[in-house]
């Protein structure tokens, strides 16, 4: 019985095993048949689709053409970018602009047969379909990069059979029209990376602060991972999800042999960015000006050098922070051998509202102070009226009702013109301008393109010698390029196309049009004096020629210099033209000028040597007509020469002084004999008889008449306006350097 039962049990188990093998065999055959049928169907369907779509129009590429407007420097580097009309950061980018490791990881993770399929990867479709049948759910996708590009061009993100069919058809049609490189470039330009960031270049700048040409392995992996779920994986909002996705890409890259495990381990340790960076905003004033001038152009190429621009913007920001609140600065750097502007710093900080940073002070009309004195003497040298060693009197003088004064309120007696210009004495400069004529000076400026602006549309006067005229920083820089170039002024340009056209014309023997500012001999005399001008503290003299200037009322501080290659002009002041006590070109602008030359490069190109006809002699060897300057139209002021009259040195006459509530005002005088008596609107105020200064508390805004009387009864009076902060612009002669 037991043996029979045992045999029956073995027999049943054998039959069961046989039946199971039969069922498995049948199942395998069915599945094989299904797979074969499905594969044949897929091939037939693909062939049918290829035939059908060959007659259909390709996807609309209009979305890919809506790019951010970009402003580039002379080497094609990004200075400034602007969002598209719909507020997207979508920067132009080509395949060659992207790190090759990023591209390799992108292919390994998204579409490893990208270069072998025709837009639709049939093998991936078959695999995805088989997995769907066997698992009852989607295990892997079959979307190619080309299909993703079609979806991005459509701008629709629904997941449906119709949407997938449109992508298949569009991908086949797109690859029929474009090359693989062009299709890949579309993906690099359109892929979403969270928020309003589209394209790998915009993403690299936003998350890493750099162009995508050189990415670390971790950075490249993160950029591969983000487009799959851009909002959920945004590193600035969900760094944990971004890190997990990045690490998954790194592991796939190891599996596909793109990187090794050691590289992946190091990349995993890289931090994920947790905030978005600001897009480059270099040369913002001139960039916006170019976009306004040609809003249709997608790309603007400038002559600006990105590295120099960044260095000088940093310099302006740092130095004005040390000088005081509400002050701004502007710097213009020019390669005067070609006329190309290599740096245009319009303010101390474009986004700094406390310094009115949005105002471009390079193009603002201001009083140039004493920066025009070199051209006055240059005209005298050119006309044969003077030589650097000619003697001239620095004594009290009056031209009708106009009595110029020196910045130090002193007189220096008989000096050479070389000394008068290097020390920026005012009285000799006015005397020389009276001889050459202010109209001639203004006419020479207009001839070379520097437009002068006079108060109330008046005619040029002797006040031009001390800044009684309006000019922009660009105008002043243009004039100084004439000194740097031996007398010829070249037209300045900030557009790369203009510079390239000029260079091309020069190769074909066509010279650029130059305007003559001064003769070569006169220009060399001026430069020979300016190169020995006293430098700021802790600065080296003689490396380049330069001149400073201070406008009336301490509103504008200037410094302009040049060597054999570069001309740099610096302005410091308040954009609202308010007075800043103690603001002078030598103390505020000259240090910036010297630092600017150092940041451009330590090596200086020497100035040109003496031209033919230049007299390099001492004063005693000069021809008799040049030994002493012949003055005309001047009336010598009588009085003791060694005892200057009392003068109110601050605030200046006709100035506007900004006052805050409860702030006292410092009144200063120079000259005269102590004790001094101060009066405000005719009423005396308390003062220390031992000093020439007094602290006075104003009681409100409005016009105030200040008077000071010395021990000998000599009086000086000024009228000033006390006001709350507001914009103003006045072009008056300075007392200054």
For position 142, what pLDDT does the model report? 62
For position 516, what pLDDT does the model report? 93
For position 421, what pLDDT does the model report? 96
- pLDDT for 354 beyond 70: yes
Given the structure tokens 């004529």, which residue do they identify? 437
- pLDDT for 36 beyond 70: no
- pLDDT for 250 beyond 80: yes
DSSP 192: B
Average pLDDT over residues 233-261: 96
Q: Assess whether 548 and 450 both reside in one domain.
A: yes
Question: Quick one: CA dihedral 45, 46, 48, 49, positive or negative?
Answer: positive
pLDDT band at 553 (very low <50, low <70, confident <90, very high): confident
Q: Assess whether 620 and 654 both reside in one domain.
A: no
Tell me, yes or no, whether 335 lies in a domain: no
- pLDDT for 730 beyond 80: no
Cα–Cα distance between 447 and 464 in angstroms, integer?
17
Task: Decide: 730 and 577 in contact? Cβ < 8 Å.
Answer: yes
Tell me, yes or no, whether 558 lies in a domain: yes
Lowest mean pLDDT among 148-162, 575-589, 627-641: 627-641
Phi, psi of 449, deg, nearest 5 = 100, 5
Cα–Cα distance between 438 and 689 in angstroms, integer?
43
Q: Assess whether 608 and 653 both reside in one domain.
A: no
For position 26, what pLDDT does the model report? 47
pLDDT band at 65 (very low <50, low <70, confident <90, very high): confident
Average pLDDT over residues 224-235: 95
Q: Assess whether 133 and 253 both reside in one domain.
A: yes
Task: Decide: 63 and 90 in contact? Cβ < 8 Å.
Answer: no
Of 214, 240, 268, the domain-final residue = 268
Q: Assess whether 108 and 223 both reside in one domain.
A: yes
Tell me, yes or no, whether 423 lies in a domain: yes
For position 338, what pLDDT does the model report? 93
Lowest mean pLDDT among 257-266, 424-433, 633-642: 633-642
CATH of the domain at 369: 3.40.710.10
Highest mean pLDDT among 488-502, 505-519, 554-568: 554-568
Q: Assess whether 559 and 599 both reside in one domain.
A: yes
For position 23, what pLDDT does the model report? 52
Highest mean pLDDT among 259-263, 510-514, 628-632, 665-669: 259-263
- pLDDT for 389 beyond 50: yes
For position 724, what pLDDT does the model report? 67
For position 558, what pLDDT does the model report? 98
- pLDDT for 85 beyond 60: yes
- pLDDT for 731 beyond 90: no
The secondary structure of 530-589, three-state, reads HCCCCCCCCCCCCCCEEEEEECCCCCEEEEEEECCCEEEEEEEECCCCCCCCCCCHHHHH
Lowest mean pLDDT among 136-140, 388-392, 483-487, 500-504: 136-140
pLDDT band at 438 (very low <50, low <70, confident <90, very high): very high
- pLDDT for 592 beyond 70: yes
Tell me, yes or no, whether 328 lies in a domain: no
CATH of the domain at 191: 1.10.3810.10
Q: Assess whether 610 and 654 both reside in one domain.
A: no
Return all residues near 22 (Cβ < 8 A) that are at least 6 apart. Answer: none
Q: Assess whether 86 and 225 both reside in one domain.
A: yes
Of the listed 110, 313, 382, 389, which one is catalytic?
110
CATH of the domain at 702: 2.60.40.10
Of the listed 68, 143, 328, 370, which one is catalytic?
370
Of 567, 595, 627, the domain-final residue = 627
Tell me, yes or no, whether 330 lies in a domain: no
Average pLDDT over residues 309-330: 95
Give the CA dihedral 422, 426, 428, 433, nearest 10 degrees.
110
* Domain housing 697: 647-723
Tell me, yes or no, whether 6 lies in a domain: yes
Tell me, yes or no, whether 331 lies in a domain: no
pLDDT band at 130 (very low <50, low <70, confident <90, very high): very low
Average pLDDT over residues 336-365: 96
pLDDT band at 732 (very low <50, low <70, confident <90, very high): very low
Question: Quick one: CA dihedral 268, 271, 273, 274, positive or negative?
Answer: positive
Return all residues near 378 (Cβ < 8 A) that are at least 6 apart. Answer: 483, 517, 518, 522, 523, 525, 526
- pLDDT for 424 beyond 80: yes
Lowest mean pLDDT among 22-36, 178-192, 255-269, 608-622: 22-36
Tally of structural domains, the chain? 4
Q: Assess whether 591 and 685 both reside in one domain.
A: no
Task: Decide: 520 and 611 in contact? Cβ < 8 Å.
Answer: yes
Q: What is the mean pLDDT of the chain?
A: 86
pLDDT band at 728 (very low <50, low <70, confident <90, very high): very low
Q: Assess whether 539 and 681 both reside in one domain.
A: no
Examine the residue annotation and report whether 143 is marked as an active-site residue of this protein: no
Highest mean pLDDT among 165-179, 218-232, 632-646: 218-232
Of 627, 662, 693, the domain-final residue = 627
Task: Decide: 470 and 552 in contact? Cβ < 8 Å.
Answer: no
- pLDDT for 688 beyond 60: yes
Tell me, yes or no, whether 302 lies in a domain: no
For position 19, what pLDDT does the model report? 47
Return all residues near 153 (Cβ < 8 A) that are at least 6 apart. Answer: 59, 60, 61, 63, 64, 170, 186, 190
For position 137, what pLDDT does the model report? 46
Q: Assess whether 576 and 468 both reside in one domain.
A: yes
Highest mean pLDDT among 6-15, 180-189, 397-406: 180-189
pTM for the full predicted model: 0.79
Examine the residue annotation and report whether 338 is marked as an active-site residue of this protein: no
For position 138, what pLDDT does the model report? 47
Q: Assess whether 225 and 90 both reside in one domain.
A: yes
Model confidence pLDDT, tens digit, residues 641-685: 445 678 888 888 878 887 776 678 888 888 788 889 999 988 889
């Amino acid at each position: 019985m037991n043996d029979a039962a045992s045999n029956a049990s073995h027999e049943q188990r054998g039959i069961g095993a046989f039946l199971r093998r039969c069922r498995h065999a049948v199942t395998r055959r069915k599945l094989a048949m299904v797979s074969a049928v499905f594969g044949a169907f897929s091939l037939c369907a693909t062939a049918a689709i290829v035939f059908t779509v060959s007659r259909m129009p390709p996807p609309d590429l209009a979305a890919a053409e809506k790019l951010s407007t970009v402003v580039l420097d002379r080497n094609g580097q990004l200075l400034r970018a602007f969002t598209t009309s719909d507020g997207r950061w979508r920067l132009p980018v080509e395949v060659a602009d992207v790190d090759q490791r990023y591209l390799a990881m992108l292919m390994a993770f998204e579409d490893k047969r990208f270069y072998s399929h025709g837009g639709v990867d049939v093998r991936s479709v078959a695999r995805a379909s088989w997995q769907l049948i066997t698992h009852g759910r989607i295990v892997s996708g079959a979307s190619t990069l080309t299909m993703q590009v079609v979806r991005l061009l459509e701008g629709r993100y629904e997941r449906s059979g119709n949407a997938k069919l449109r992508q298949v058809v569009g991908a086949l049609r797109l690859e029929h029209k474009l090359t693989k490189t062009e299709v890949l470039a579309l993906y690099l330009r359109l892929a979403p990376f969270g928020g309003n960031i589209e394209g790998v270049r915009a993403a690299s700048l936003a998350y890493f602060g750099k162009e995508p040409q050189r990415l670390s392995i971790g950075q490249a992996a993160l950029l591969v991972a983000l487009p799959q779920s851009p909002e959920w994986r945004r590193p600035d909002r969900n760094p944990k999800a971004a890190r997990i996705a990045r690490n998954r890409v790194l592991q796939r890259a190891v599996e596909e042999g793109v990187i090794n495990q050691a590289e992946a381990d190091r990349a995993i340790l890289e931090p994920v960015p947790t905030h978005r960076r600001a897009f480059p905003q270099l040369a913002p004033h001139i960039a916006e000006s170019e976009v306004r001038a040609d809003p249709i152009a997608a790309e603007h190429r400038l002559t600006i050098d990105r590295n120099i621009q960044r260095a000088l913007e940093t310099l302006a920001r740092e130095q004005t922070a040390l000088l005081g609140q509400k002050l701004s600065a502007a710097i213009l750097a020019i390669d005067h051998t070609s006329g190309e502007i290599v740096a245009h710093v319009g303010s101390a900080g474009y986004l700094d509202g406390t310094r009115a940073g949005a105002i471009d002070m390079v193009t603002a009309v201001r009083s140039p102070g004493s920066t025009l004195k070199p051209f006055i003497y240059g005209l005298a040298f050119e006309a044969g009226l003077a030589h650097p060693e000619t003697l001239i009197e620095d004594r009290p003088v009056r031209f009708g009702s106009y009595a110029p004064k020196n910045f130090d309120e002193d007189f220096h007696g008989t000096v050479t013109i070389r000394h008068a210009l290097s020390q920026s004495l005012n009285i000799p400069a006015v005397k020389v301008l009276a001889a050459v004529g202010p109209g001639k000076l203004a006419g020479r400026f207009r001839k070379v393109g520097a437009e002068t602006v006079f108060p109330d549309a008046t005619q040029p006067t002797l006040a031009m010698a001390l800044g009684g005229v309006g000019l922009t920083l660009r105008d002043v820089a243009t004039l100084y390029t004439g000194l740097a170039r031996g007398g010829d002024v070249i037209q300045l340009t900030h557009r790369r196309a203009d510079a390239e056209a000029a260079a091309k014309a020069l190769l074909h023997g066509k010279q650029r049009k130059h305007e003559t500012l001064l003769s070569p001999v006169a220009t060399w005399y001026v430069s020979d004096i300016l190169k020995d001008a006293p430098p700021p503290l802790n600065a080296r003299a003689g490396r380049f020629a330069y001149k400073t200037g201070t406008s009336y009322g301490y509103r504008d501080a200037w410094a302009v210099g040049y060597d054999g290659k570069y001309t740099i002009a610096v302005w410091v002041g308040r954009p609202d033209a308010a007075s800043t006590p103690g603001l002078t070109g030598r103390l505020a602008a000259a240090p910036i000028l010297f630092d600017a030359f150092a940041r451009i490069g330590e090596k200086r190109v020497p100035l040109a040597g003496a031209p033919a006809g230049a007299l390099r002699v001492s004063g005693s060897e000069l021809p008799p007509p040049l030994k002493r300057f012949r003055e005309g139209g001047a009336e010598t002021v009588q009085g003791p020469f060694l005892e200057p009259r009392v003068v109110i040195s601050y605030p200046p006459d006709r100035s506007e002084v900004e006052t805050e509530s409860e702030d006292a005002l410092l009144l200063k005088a120079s000259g005269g004999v102590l004790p001094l008596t101060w009066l405000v609107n005719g009423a005396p105020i308390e003062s220390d008889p031992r000093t020439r200064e007094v602290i006075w508390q104003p009681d409100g805004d409005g016009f105030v008449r200040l008077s000071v009387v010395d021990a000998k009864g000599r009086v000086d009076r000024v009228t000033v306006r006390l006001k709350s902060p507001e914009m103003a612009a006045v072009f008056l002669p300075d007392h200054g350097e």
